[in-house]
Structures are given as structure tokens and as C-alpha cells.
Amino acid sequence: MAAEENRVQASAETITGLMDAEHNRLRDLWEHTTAALKAEEFARLHGVARDLITAVKRHISVEEQILFPAIESKGKNNEPTEAMRMEHRQMEHMLEQLEPLLTVAELWTGINAIEGQEIEPGALLRSHENKEHDVLFPLAEQLLGADEARMLVGRMRTELNKA
């Protein structure tokens, strides 16, 4: 039974499955960004930093426009979604501080955009994503039930795949 549940959880048809895959993609973009900076490959850095900023913004928007309202429509406790919204505002501030990476042409400015932040961006992403994985997505699946969750996954995937 446990193995069966794990298989279902891992499926991209579940909220956890889809959004974990998305979180992994965002973390990969972050890794590519820091790697390009360290290698001082600035043209590559500009592209991957733009991809990262765009992808995190879209991810936040999909969660706030589709997932969170669905959870809140169940009329239970809104604290988990409100806590995640507050962290999204923190992440948007973090993205603004990363904007020098879009045009930077020397190492120190890039390092400063990352290390000058109150919380290291990779750690901020990781901590937020872990909370969603551990608390919010299971809560959403429990409140919505399998059918509604599947419909929601379809809507989120469509939005996430928009060019």
C-alpha cells in the first residue's frame, strides 16, 4: 500500500508530482546561474538568469492564481497559503536584487548581487519549496480530492507551459 501511494505521489498527475518537478527545474536554473557566474561566462549568465527570473515569477503566479485559491475555496485554515504568499513577496524582492545578473560583465558585481542578500537565494528557494512539498501540496491534495486535484494539475501545467 505504501509503495502504491509513493507511486501515485511521484506521478506528474498529482499536485506534488507536477510542482516538485517544477521546483527541481527552478533549482537547476539557479545552479546554472551560479555556475555561469563562477565560470565568468557572462553571455550564458545573462540568458540563464533571465530564464530563472521569468520561471520563478511564473511559478509564483500559477500558485497564487490557481493553487492557493483552490485551497482557500475549501474554507478551512488560510494560514498555510498566507504564509507562502508572504514568502513569495520575499522571493520577488530576491529576484529584483538578482537583476544585475542580466547585464553584468564582471565577477564582483555578480557575486555582490547574490551574496549581498539577507538570505542566500538558493537557500531561500530550497526552504520555501520544502515547506510547500511537506505541508501545502499534501494539504491541497487532501482538501481537493483526486479528481479536482487532477483538473487543477491540468490548468497549472497549461499555464506553466505558456511561452
Residues that bind Fe ion (CB under 5 A): 63, 132
* DSSP letters for 8-50: HHHSTTSHHHHHHHHHHHHHHHHHHHHHHHHTT-HHHHHHHHH
- Least distance in Å: CB of 160 to Fe ion? 11
- Least distance in Å: CB of 62 to Fe ion? 8
DSSP annotation of 123 reads H
Residue with Cβ nearer Fe ion (106 or 162): 162
Distant-in-sequence, close-in-space partners of 21: CB < 8 Å, separation ≥ 6: 12
Residue with Cβ nearer Fe ion (86 or 107): 86
Phi and psi of 120, rounded to 5°?
A: -60, 130
- Least distance in Å: CB of 29 to Fe ion? 13
Residue with Cβ nearer Fe ion (36 or 153): 153
Strand, coil or helix: 104? coil
- Least distance in Å: CB of 138 to Fe ion? 14
The stretches of 11-161 forming alpha helices (DSSP H) are 15-38, 42-62, 68-72, 79-98, 107-115, 121-131, 137-160
Q: Which three cell numbers stand for residue 126?
A: 530550497
Residue with Cβ nearer Fe ion (60 or 104): 60
Residue with Cβ nearer Fe ion (132 or 141): 132
- Least distance in Å: CB of 40 to Fe ion? 31
